[in-house]
Structure 1
Amino acid sequence: MGRRRTNNLDLPPHMQIKHGAYYFVGRDKKWIRLSEDKALALAKWAELEGEIPFPPNEEKPIKGSLGELIMRYMIEIAPHKAKSTYQGNKLEAENLKKVFSKVQARAVLPTHIAKYLDTRGITSQVRANREIALLSHIYTYGMRWGVVNSNPCIGVAKHKEKGRDRYIMDNEFEGVKNIASELIAIVMDMAYITALRKGDILSLKLEQVTDEGIWIKQNKTGAKQLYEWSIGLHDVVDRAKALKRPIRGLYLFCTRQGKPYSDSGFKAMWNRVQVKWAEQGGSRFTFHDIRAKALTDAKNLGMDAQSLAGHSSAAMTEHYIKQREFKRVIPLK
């Protein structure tokens, strides 16, 4: 029997942390590097040990329960998703476990899913839909792993959602830029010209800016794109490079320490600008609304909005555009 662990009590057997990285230490005392990310390290640990790890401060899930299936999914599958998606999944999984953790995964019926949607929908219909969407994906992996034979979420009607239809007018876009910092204004222009998501812009490295253009691999979809140089793109990149930066800064947009802006840090700056804009009588909009404006304007100009978005299907692009399209009408007098 091995020695009882005296520190890092939240780690499973045979896992150690050293110099910021997690390692698997087998009986042969050989150290196998797993990852610096704890969630990914646990997933690799599970592959090596052939079992599902669980935190010592949590109750071990019941064999065959939905709680066990959710835990396995969150360790082996969820960490490989985009960072924002993974963070959202963790919150959704916790809400699902409050209801289903001790229920046998095979015993869940479509009527149970419908009841969850109705009950959870009292407080938030959108969150109820997202949580059941995650549960449905968990069940698809449960079938693949041989834990369950069917997916009780299939065929259960979700709550109807109203698509966001906020379109940013040109004068609004310029108005916010005028009261924003130079950094925010440049990032806004980059978002509009490229239709890139905020995360892809903030993680953009200088090495991705080449003679051919800007190379992008979207964090969310994995789509690879080359944004060829245009007058507008040249201008916004030159302005970004002119911002104060450490000599060794590797990112196009970076902090004084040369690191990329975090999602929360940028969100705080963006919210301050939107509060100021609202105080001046403007109507607030989200940063993601800029992407929708870019795609809508691209379509109106006869451009290939789908390629600009990096979507795998035209339907995905239409989802952004349809709710924001409008017609200009000449009044009678």
Structure 2
Amino acid sequence: MGRRRKANFNLPPRMYLKHGAYYYVSRDNKWLRLSDDKAIAFSKWAEIEGEIPRESGSEKPITGSMAALIDKYMIEIAPKKAKATYTGNVMEAKNLREVFGKMLILEVRPTHIAKYLDIRGLKAPIRANREISLLSHMFSYAMRWGQVDRNPCLGVAKHTEKGRDRYITDQEFEGVKEIASELIAIVMDFAYITAMRKGDILKLRLDQITDEGIWVKQSKTGAKQLYEWTNGLTEVIARAKALKRPIRGLYLFCNRQGQPYTDSGFKAMWQRIQIKWSRSGGQRFTFHDIRAKALTDAKRMGLDAQSLAGHSSFAMTEHYIKQREYKVVKSLI
């Protein structure tokens, strides 16, 4: 029997966290570095041990159970998704496991899915929809793995969701910039000009900025784009490069350590500005609403909003902006 852990009780046997990275300690006491990313480390642990990793002391799921399916999906499929999506899946999977974990895969019926939506939907209808969407994806893989021949989630009506229709006016946009820091004001302008997602903006490296333009591979869709130089883009990039930065900073927008801002770190800065904006009498909006404003304005100006968004279809772009379109009308007098 190995020695009892003194820390990291949530890690599977022989995995340890040391100096920000995860290691596998072999039976002859050799330390093998897995990764500084927990999901990748778990996946490599599974390859070495030949089984699904779980917290120390936790019950091993029964073969053919929902717990086993959820664990398998979260190890083999979920880590391949974008980081933000994977993080959301972790919480969603935890909720699903608590309810469905002890059931056998073949026992799950559409009525169980409907009941979950009804009960979970009393407090969080949108989260309930997302969790069942994840469960449906798990069943699609269970079919591929030969564990079931049907997906009980299909055909079960989810809660109605109202599309977000917040449109930021030019006056609101400039109003928030006036009370924001120089960094946030520049990021806002850059987000509006390019319609990039926040994650792609925060990870934008200086070497992606070339004489041809700015090269970007969208983290969400994988779409490759070249933003050609315009007067507005040239000006905002010049402002961004003029910000104080560490000599070795590799990113267009970086913190004092030269590293890109984390999603949570940037979100905290954005929330402080929005609280200040709200207290001044303004209506709050999300950073993602800037992308929606950019695409809506692009369409009104006769530009190619689909290419700007990096969407694979025009219908996807239309669905994105249709709630925010408006008509300019004149009064009678």
TM-score where L is the length of structure 1: 0.93
* Cα drift, residue 291 of structure 1: 0.2
Q: Per the alignment, in what secondary structure is the counterpart of residue 61 of structure 1?
A: coil
Q: Per the alignment, in what secondary structure is the counterpart of residue 214 of structure 2?
A: strand
Counterpart AA for 1:176: V
Note if 1:215 corresponds to 2:215.
yes
- Write out per-residue CA displacement over residues 265-293 of structure 1, whole angstroms, 9 at most, x where no aligned residue: 11111111111111221111110000000
Q: For residue 318 of structure 2, what is the aligned residue in structure 1?
A: 318
Same amino acid, percent of matched pairs: 71
The aligned runs of 1:187-202 (5 Å cut-off) are 187-202=187-202
Choose 8-17 or 49-58, whichever is displaced more.
8-17
Counterpart AA for 2:311: H
Q: Distance in 2 between matches of 1:59 and 1:49?
A: 17
Q: Distance in 2 between matches of 1:295 and 1:309?
A: 7
Q: Distance in 2 between matches of 1:89 and 1:13?
A: 24
Counterpart AA for 2:188: M
* Cα drift, residue 256 of structure 1: 1.4
Q: Please tell me whether the aligned partners of residues 213 and 227 of structure 1 are also in contact (alpha carbons under 8 angstroms).
A: yes
Q: For residue 148 of structure 1, what is the aligned residue in structure 2?
A: 148
Q: For residue 297 of structure 1, what is the aligned residue in structure 2?
A: 297
Q: Please tell me whether the aligned partners of residues 40 and 80 of structure 1 are also in contact (alpha carbons under 8 angstroms).
A: no
Classify 1:3/1:95 alpha carbon distance in 2 versus 1 (closer, same or farther; 3 Å): closer
Q: Per the alignment, in what secondary structure is the counterpart of residue 137 of structure 2?
A: helix
The aligned runs of 1:6-155 (5 Å cut-off) are 6=5, 10-13=10-13, 15=15, 20-24=20-24, 33-155=33-155
Q: Distance in 1 between matches of 2:146 and 2:114?
A: 24
Classify 1:29/1:280 alpha carbon distance in 2 versus 1 (closer, same or farther; 3 Å): closer
Q: Please tell me whether the aligned partners of residues 13 and 56 of structure 2 are also in contact (alpha carbons under 8 angstroms).
A: no
Q: Please tell me whether the aligned partners of residues 218 and 224 of structure 1 are also in contact (alpha carbons under 8 angstroms).
A: yes
Choose 316-325 or 11-20, whichever is displaced more.
11-20
Q: Please tell me whether the aligned partners of residues 106 and 149 of structure 1 are also in contact (alpha carbons under 8 angstroms).
A: no
The aligned runs of 1:172-183 (5 Å cut-off) are 172-183=172-183
- Write out per-residue CA displacement over residues 83-110 of structure 1, whole angstroms, 9 at most, x where no aligned residue: 1111111111111112111011111001
Q: For residue 248 of structure 2, what is the aligned residue in structure 1?
A: 248
* Cα drift, residue 17 of structure 1: 5.5
Q: Distance in 2 between matches of 1:55 and 1:195?
A: 41
Q: Per the alignment, in what secondary structure is the counterpart of residue 215 of structure 2?
A: strand
* Cα drift, residue 32 of structure 1: 5.7
- Write out per-residue CA displacement over residues 151-177 of structure 1, whole angstroms, 9 at most, x where no aligned residue: 110111111100000001111111111
Q: Distance in 2 between matches of 1:151 and 1:122?
A: 24
* Cα drift, residue 59 of structure 1: 2.3
* Cα drift, residue 27 of structure 1: 6.8
RMSD over equivalenced CA pairs, Å: 2.0
Q: For residue 281 of structure 2, what is the aligned residue in structure 1?
A: 281
Classify 1:191/1:44 alpha carbon distance in 2 versus 1 (closer, same or farther; 3 Å): same
Q: Per the alignment, in what secondary structure is the counterpart of residue 216 of structure 2?
A: strand
Gaps of 5+ in 1: none
Counterpart AA for 1:80: K
Q: Please tell me whether the aligned partners of residues 253 and 261 of structure 1 are also in contact (alpha carbons under 8 angstroms).
A: yes
- Write out per-residue CA displacement over residues 52-111 of structure 1, whole angstroms, 9 at most, x where no aligned residue: 121114222222111111111112211221111111111111111121110111110011
TM-score where L is the length of structure 2: 0.93
Across the two proteins, how many residue pairs are aligned to each other? 332
Counterpart AA for 2:101: S
* Cα drift, residue 149 of structure 1: 2.1
Q: Per the alignment, in what secondary structure is the counterpart of residue 56 of structure 1?
A: coil
Counterpart AA for 2:212: E
* Cα drift, residue 146 of structure 1: 2.0
Q: Distance in 2 between matches of 1:132 and 1:243?
A: 44
- Write out per-residue CA displacement over residues 209-228 of structure 1, whole angstroms, 9 at most, x where no aligned residue: 11111111111122111111
Q: For residue 184 of structure 2, what is the aligned residue in structure 1?
A: 184
Classify 1:149/1:49 alpha carbon distance in 2 versus 1 (closer, same or farther; 3 Å): farther
Counterpart AA for 1:228: E
Counterpart AA for 2:35: S
Gaps of 5+ in 2: none
Classify 1:6/1:271 alpha carbon distance in 2 versus 1 (closer, same or farther; 3 Å): closer
Classify 1:9/1:96 alpha carbon distance in 2 versus 1 (closer, same or farther; 3 Å): closer
Q: For residue 270 of structure 1, what is the aligned residue in structure 2?
A: 270
Counterpart AA for 1:322: K
